[in-house]
Amino acid sequence: MMLTKESKMRLLENFYAIDYTLFNERASLVESCCPETIREFITVKGALLSIMIEMHKLTDYRPKSINKNVTNEMLKENARQTSILARKNAKSLAVTEHGRLLIKKELRESIESGDNDNLTIEELVETTIRQRTFSLAIDNLLIGRLLHESTAGDKLNSWEGRILEDAYKVLRESLIEIALFIDEYASLTR
């Protein structure tokens, strides 16, 4: 199955929206960091969007028809607006009882694993909350929209859908880790 023009436009919009979601209005941070990290960020983001292409095909993704020429500026503005909404929705979900329980569970697992011994408890709590909120925002941006605009969203429950979802989660978490590194690097160099 070929992707529609609208689906391709949505993917391009999401390419920009991911940066706005992770870096807010400071999406230019991606360009201010070290070259190797930038390449890794772009590579992982591209791989994540490749998974999204497969999800689009699997779920018969059908965004609204576009009847006008879309400029790069319009695309970036749409990306900025959808990222604002995704961040807002993520914050709302993170403060629910279920969201807080997930954060506590992740925090407990992180402490028990000893992977973050170099962080104070406060830093670990902040990092865990940011990671969970970013995960929710990216899911809202990419998966929420996919399910809303697909005609066969239930196909994500198939064997192929579960494989795609697992790959998506690994890439999403990797992307968030790199984004947190870029953000930390940028705050140290200011």
* pLDDT 10s digits, 70-107: 888 988 999 999 999 999 999 898 888 888 888 888 87
Residue 168 CA to residue 93 CA, distance in Å, equals 20
Higher pLDDT, 29 or 162: 162
Closest CA to 165 of 173, 131, 85, 31: 173
Q: How far apart are the first and last CA of the chain?
A: 47
Please, is 30 exposed, middle or buried when counting C-beta atoms within 10 Å of its C-beta (0-12, 13-18, 19+)?
buried
Q: In percent, how much of the chain has pLDDT > 70? A: 89
* pLDDT 10s digits, 13-49: 999 999 999 988 665 666 666 788 888 999 999 999 9
pTM of the model: 0.88
Q: How many CB atoms lie within 10 A of CB 141?
A: 24
In the predicted model, is pLDDT for residue 190 greater than 60? Answer: no
Residue 140 CA to residue 183 CA, distance in Å, equals 21
Q: Where are the domains of the chain?
A: 5-86+142-189
